[in-house]
Amino acid sequence: MPREPLLVFDGDCAFCTTWVRRLENALDRFPDAQPWQWLDLDGLALSRDDVTHYVWLLVGGGRFRGHAAFAALLQLQPQRTLRLLGHLLVTPPFSWAASLGYSLIARFRHRLPGGTAACAMPRAAG
């Protein structure tokens, strides 16, 4: 079991990897960040569907995905303004916009700067 906190992201996605590294350099407190492809997903109680659609932050028994993972990451920071921003991102109506923004970025990450065809989200079954 990897140490906590743990940020789980898509290591095949150049866009995702680039942003994880940028945040790692920009934030004072950053968790261990591992591509889901390197992890025992069953041991983390995550499915392949979970990790191909969302970034995850596992911390202190909490499991945060998508925009809530980013918000929780901000809440770990020593700066009050970043912690406040983290709280706002999970408080309506700001959380609605953050969720929509995360969904759009995740869906089109292969078309964003740094993205490649490997970044494309898998198509839904059915």
Is the pLDDT at 105 greater than 70, yes or no?
yes
Q: What is the mean pLDDT of residues 7-15?
A: 89
pLDDT of 15 reads 84
Q: What is the pLDDT of residues 17-62, one digit of tens each?
A: 889 999 999 999 999 999 999 999 999 999 999 998 899 999 988 9
Instruction: Tell whether the model's pLDDT for residue 114 goes beyond 70.
Output: no
Q: What is the structure's pLDDT at 4? A: 79
**What pTM does this model have?**
0.86
Please report, rounded to a whole number, the percentage of residues in the chain having pLDDT higher than 90.
68
**Looking at residue 60, what is its pLDDT?**
84
pLDDT of residue 79 exceeding 90, the answer is yes
For residue 126, the model assigns a pLDDT of 44
Long-range contacts of 55-62 (CB under 8 A, 24+ apart): 55/7, 55/8, 55/9, 55/10, 55/16, 56/6, 56/7, 56/8, 56/9, 57/5, 57/6, 57/7, 57/8, 57/31, 58/4, 58/5, 58/6, 58/8, 59/4, 59/5, 59/6, 59/31, 60/4, 60/5
| pLDDT of 72 higher than 80 | yes
